[in-house]
Structure 1
Amino acid sequence: MKTGFYHKVLSGLALAGAVLAPVAPAHAENLETEFDKAFIASPQQPAASASQPPQLQASRVQPKVLPAAQTTKRTPPASVRPYVSQRSQRSYGGELNSQVASLADDGNGRIGVAAIDLTTGQTVSVLGDTPFPLASTSKIAIAATFLEGVDQGRFSLDAQYPLMVPVKSARFSGFAAPVRPGAMLTGRQLIERSLIHSDNQATDALLAVVGGPAAVNRWIRTTGISGFRIDRDIATLVRDDGEYNPAQMIDERDSATPMAMAQLLVGLYEGRWLSTSSRGFLIATMERCLTGKRRLRGQLPSDARVAHKTGTLNNTASDVGIVRGPNGHVYAVAIYVTGQGGHAGRDAKIAAISRVIYDGYVGPDVGTYASAQR
């Protein structure tokens, strides 16, 4: 049931006298904010405020900082390149695509959008073939890889696995950020914490069980989808966040094109790669997502059903999911936004694009719009 990678992680992580991580998940909005702000402050002075829940503060008390591997400016790897706008050379056919393209202007930070209507097959794409930071939207693929293992009898939703708790280390001080085993949770609890609360420790627990990023990439290849890759666990991704500005640079590490994500969502929703029970559990859990209330759902009608996952890193925000209108119309959408002047600007851009796509696919008059959502 446990892979060699998983045994290696556990054998190398135990620290004498380490305190187990708390079982109760942090409040969703605080956790998503934590993922957005992680390591922006000095690594030697992690931020912890009285407004944070006690368990979140406790998880930030870490052992001594490990020495940095290098102190000079790092040479960008081959996977990193400047973003060069080609919007003046692009044409967007169709009224809906043109409307989305007008909202997704890259003058204040590049924006990628892809949507697929599951009824008609109509697609929307603006920079849909350009890599964007996955951030926490990668958690969908990680959960799906685990669920495939459940379907094959290699893992179990009822078996218990340890959380992976970050150990404080300097940025870029190693290929992978150090972690230690924490509290034991069932596979079901880990997926719920990962997708509902965007819990990083639960996600890295799932990642350790399946065999690391390489195992997720292997599963992605079996789907036939290209333009999607995971290179690091979440602990490393957060620790080394902010090295490159995603509004100006394209980093192919831990990235996906919006179209690749939309295709992944369509396949999962249609049950192409998972059993009926695993597919149902995944979609139902995504419908309970508590983060990103002002993003994909922000301007949608209150009776639209949204199964989604948000992502947040330095100067980037995203929301991807399956939307079902009250008339039964279903579509997949992936929106990745950088820049836009700050967190609120990125959220507002995602919400506005989401509403235009909903109106184009489902209809502007279908659904009940609450006044607070306008």
Structure 2
Amino acid sequence: MNRTAPSSARAALCLLAGLGLIGAAPQGHAQSFEEFISGDNGAILDGREKIRSMPPVLRQQLVSIAAADRGRIGVAALDLTTGASVSILGEQAFPMASTSKIAIAATFLAGVDAGRYRLQDRYPLQIPVASRPFDGPVAPVKPGMQVAAERLIELMITRSDNSATDAMLKAVGGPKAVTEWLRNAGLSRQRIDRDIATLVRDDGEFDPVTVVDERDSTPPEEMVALIAGLYQGKWLSPESRDLLVNTMTRTVTGSRRIKAGLPSGSRFGHKTGTLNNTASDVGFVELPDGRVIVMAIYVTGQGGRPQRDQRIAQITRVLYDGFTESRFAALATAQTQN
């Protein structure tokens, strides 16, 4: 477990390192963020070639995101056609909160593909029992009604139901089993350490703005890698892949996050996460030309939940506009024709 409480200076250094600034300036010259973002190494969006002319709106958004005193923000996005990508603090650990439910569902579906489970199998909901925070390593729960696995997946993804999630988690063997599946999938840092009942009961132990608690966390880049692999059918059968991807398109939580940042009528699928002083939204978006963008946005601080939701929506729109910009469209066309 790695928990550090960075000072403002350390947070700034972490930000600059995440943006690739440290080491880019000539020896003896300390670049400002604006100098970096305007220079050759400031192309946050890149495909097969570096984009040297950054749209003003995107630059303004990135400068705003760089205000570390408001709270850490991690962003990663990937164009599945061209390989163009975005990463801002994409290698730092952020609280997954309920975005972890994607990995839990994937672990169960991989078990279905292997013949260990069936979607018709029924499991009891895991209902939290009142207990004091931090009173033992695992929060007490009691079994509830029996629900079919396919319905549990629907509840945990579309409505972020915690009791359904813990039913699935228990079925696959607990947090260690999900983390093991992630490791076998090649994701080395995304991890699940606690069930949802314990995570919620003990929420608030650390402030994610200033403390990096690696329990139940992921770098945004690894969440993008997970969703991209699932979308592309990398680890699941076509049937299991379609079930999970289609379920994500029916998510009803987080209407002010990714959904609010997209043009009306956009086709997308996502999973939200919310805990003390942090909010997140991760998923995929289909662009008008048929390309698919996978994105993961993790926000801490910013003043309150409405402000965090607004930041996610703003970042989503910047990403959407950036990836639909003509240079990316040209890359997609060239990739299709080759």
TM-score normalised to structure 2 length:
0.82
- After the TM superposition, which residues 244-263 of structure 1 pair with which residues of structure 2 at under 5 Å, given as runs? 244-263=206-225
Q: Contact (CA 8 Å) 1:156, 1:187: kept in 2 or not?
A: yes
Give the aligned residue type for 2:192: I
Give the aligned residue type for 2:301: G
RMSD, matched Cα: 1.6
Q: Secondary structure at the match of 2:133?
A: coil
Q: Kindly provide the CA deviation profile for residues 239-267 of structure 1, in whole angstroms up to 9, marking residues without a partner as x.
A: 00001100111000000000000000100
Q: Kindly provide the CA deviation profile for residues 186-220 of structure 1, in whole angstroms up to 9, marking residues without a partner as x.
A: 00010000000000000000000000001001100
* Structure 1 residue aligned with 2:247: 285
- Tell me whether 1:135 sits opposite 2:97 in the alignment: yes
Task: Tell me the CA shift for residue 123 of structure 1.
Answer: 1.1
Equivalent-residue separation in structure 1 for 2:138 and 2:125 (angstroms): 16
Which among 86, 97, 112 is matched to residue 74 of structure 2? 112
* Structure 2 residue aligned with 1:166: 128
Q: Kindly provide the CA deviation profile for residues 17-52 of structure 1, in whole angstroms up to 9, marking residues without a partner as x.
A: xxxxxxxxxxxxxxxxxxxxxxxxxxxxxxxxxxxx
Q: Secondary structure at the match of 2:259?
A: coil
Equivalent-residue separation in structure 2 for 1:190 and 1:280 (angstroms): 16
Give the aligned residue type for 2:82: T
Task: Tell me the CA shift for residue 303 of structure 1.
Answer: 2.2
CA spacing shift, 1:120–1:243, aligned 2, 3 Å: same
CA spacing shift, 1:183–1:343, aligned 2, 3 Å: same
Q: Contact (CA 8 Å) 1:303, 1:326: kept in 2 or not?
A: no
Task: Tell me the CA shift for residue 101 of structure 1.
Answer: 2.8
Give the aligned residue type for 1:313: L
Q: Contact (CA 8 Å) 1:230, 1:255: kept in 2 or not?
A: yes
Equivalent-residue separation in structure 1 for 2:16 and 2:198 (angstroms): 37
Which among 233, 252, 265 is matched to residue 303 of structure 1? 265
Task: Tell me the CA shift for residue 107 of structure 1.
Answer: 2.3
CA spacing shift, 1:273–1:261, aligned 2, 3 Å: same
Which among 60, 80, 100 is matched to residue 3 of structure 2? 80
Q: Contact (CA 8 Å) 1:296, 1:319: kept in 2 or not?
A: yes
- Which range moves more in the overlay, 286-295 or 82-91? 82-91
- Tell me whether 1:206 sits opposite 2:129 in the alignment: no
* Structure 2 residue aligned with 1:352: 314
Equivalent-residue separation in structure 2 for 1:161 and 1:95 (angstroms): 45
* Structure 2 residue aligned with 1:151: 113
Higher helix share: 2
Task: Tell me the CA shift for residue 102 of structure 1.
Answer: 2.3
Equivalent-residue separation in structure 2 for 1:88 and 1:229 (angstroms): 25
TM-score normalised to structure 1 length:
0.74
Q: Secondary structure at the match of 1:318?
A: strand
Give the aligned residue type for 2:63: S
Which sections of structure 2, spanning at least 5 residues, go unmatched?
22-36, 47-57, 327-338
Give the aligned residue type for 2:148: T
Equivalent-residue separation in structure 2 for 1:262 and 1:171 (angstroms): 32
Q: Contact (CA 8 Å) 2:45, 2:85: kept in 1 or not?
A: no
Q: Kindly provide the CA deviation profile for residues 36-88 of structure 1, in whole angstroms up to 9, marking residues without a partner as x.
A: xxxxxxxxxxxxxxxxxxxxxxxxxxxxxxxxxxxxxxxxxx42111331135
Q: Contact (CA 8 Å) 2:65, 2:73: kept in 1 or not?
A: yes
Q: Kindly provide the CA deviation profile for residues 117-170 of structure 1, in whole angstroms up to 9, marking residues without a partner as x.
A: 111101110000000000000000000000001111111111111000001111
Equivalent-residue separation in structure 1 for 2:249 and 2:267 (angstroms): 7
Which sections of structure 1, spanning at least 5 residues, go unmatched?
1-77, 365-374
- Which range moves more in the overlay, 232-241 or 296-305? 296-305
- After the TM superposition, which residues 258-269 of structure 1 pair with which residues of structure 2 at under 5 Å, given as runs? 258-269=220-231
Task: Tell me the CA shift for residue 95 of structure 1.
Answer: 5.6
Q: Contact (CA 8 Å) 2:261, 2:315: kept in 1 or not?
A: no
Task: Tell me the CA shift for residue 327 of structure 1.
Answer: 2.2
* Structure 2 residue aligned with 1:185: 147
Q: Secondary structure at the match of 2:193?
A: coil
Task: Tell me the CA shift for residue 340 of structure 1.
Answer: 0.4
What is the percent sequence identity of the aligned residues? 54
Which among 257, 270, 274 is matched to residue 236 of structure 2? 274
Task: Tell me the CA shift for residue 297 of structure 1.
Answer: 1.2
